[in-house]
């Protein structure tokens, strides 16, 4: 299916690995001009090796100044953005007895503000142009509380509200803003999550993986490429009337009515 993304400019934050990298590759395969960013130069360089023609730069998106620099540089080097996919940042999973005000704040910085610091300048630039799509890859932890993911889940919940709120605010200016909540996906980040679950429950990582896989009605984790395919569709004109919604993609793990 031709999604009509040929020549369009996209920035994928966290695009050097995991779901972000899969999204960058999916958009590039559709002919988009892709930029990625990451805190690690080594990760950016490794990702660019598999993304011919893509633009990559480093930046700590927890800093509003660095995030603004990333946006301005990409806007100049790649072009005015038609698409923003946010996938950078994750809160460390922390057992409840180890939570503290500092841990809660750290989670907001790592997940919520690493998204907001990029979204804010981009949404304003897109509004000035009268066009653009923002897809925020969030996580179902903002809907269903998990003991080891309370702080991160709170950041996810804030991002969901931000997503639908911005969609409502900017729909009249030609923008679409959509959220995507992937379930457990085969990434290094999820491997780390299994370590936290294992430690909290006093079981092995293998047992944590087995239990979490068994809980998914589809009987398996998602592959990053499956998530990326949905993101590419959401970015395209084929989803032109889809905005202000957070799409669940978790293998029917959380059977809620949206």
Q: Delineate the domains of the chain, giving CATH numbers in brackets.
A: 9-183+222-248 (3.40.50.720)
Rounded CA-CA distance 233/119 in Å is 20
**Which tokens go with 9?**
């400019």
Q: Which of 101, 93, 239 is nearest to 179 (CA)?
A: 239
- pLDDT tens track, the chain, 258 positions: 789 999 999 999 999 999 999 999 999 999 999 999 999 999 999 999 999 999 999 999 999 999 999 999 999 999 999 999 999 988 888 888 999 999 999 999 999 999 999 999 999 999 999 999 999 999 988 888 888 889 999 999 999 999 999 999 999 999 999 999 998 888 877 777 778 778 878 898 888 888 989 999 999 999 999 999 999 999 999 999 999 999 999 999 888 776
Q: Which of 120, 121, 135 is nearest to 14 (CA)?
A: 135
């Amino acid at each position: 299916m031709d999604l009509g993304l040929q020549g369009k400019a996209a920035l994928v934050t966290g695009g050097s690995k995991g779901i972000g990298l899969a999204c960058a590759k999916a958009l590039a395969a559709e002919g988009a001009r892709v930029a990625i960013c990451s805190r690690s130069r080594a990760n950016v360089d490794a990702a660019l090796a598999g993304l011919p023609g893509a633009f990559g730069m480093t930046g700590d998106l927890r800093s509003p100044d660095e995030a603004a620099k990333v946006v301005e540089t990409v806007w100049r080097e790649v072009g005015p953005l038609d698409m923003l996919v946010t996938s950078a940042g994750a809160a460390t999973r922390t057992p409840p007895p180890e939570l503290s005000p500092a841990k809660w704040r750290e989670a907001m910085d790592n997940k919520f503000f690493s998204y907001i610091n990029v979204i804010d300048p981009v949404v304003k630039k897109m509004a000035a142009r009268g066009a653009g799509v923002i897809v925020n890859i969030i996580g179902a932890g903002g809907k269903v509380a998990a003991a080891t993911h309370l702080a991160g889940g709170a950041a996810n919940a804030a991002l969901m509200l931000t997503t639908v709120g911005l969609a409502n605010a900017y729909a009249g200016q030609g923008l679409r803003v959509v959220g995507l909540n992937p379930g457990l996906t085969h990434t290094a980040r999820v491997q780390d999550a299994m370590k936290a679950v294992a430690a909290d429950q006093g079981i092995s990582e293998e047992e944590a993986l087995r239990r979490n896989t068994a809980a998914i009605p589809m009987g398996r984790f998602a592959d990053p490429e499956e998530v990326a395919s949905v993101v590419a569709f959401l970015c395209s004109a084929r989803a032109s009337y889809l905005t202000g919604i957070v799409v669940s993609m978790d293998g029917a793990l959380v059977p809620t009515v949206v």
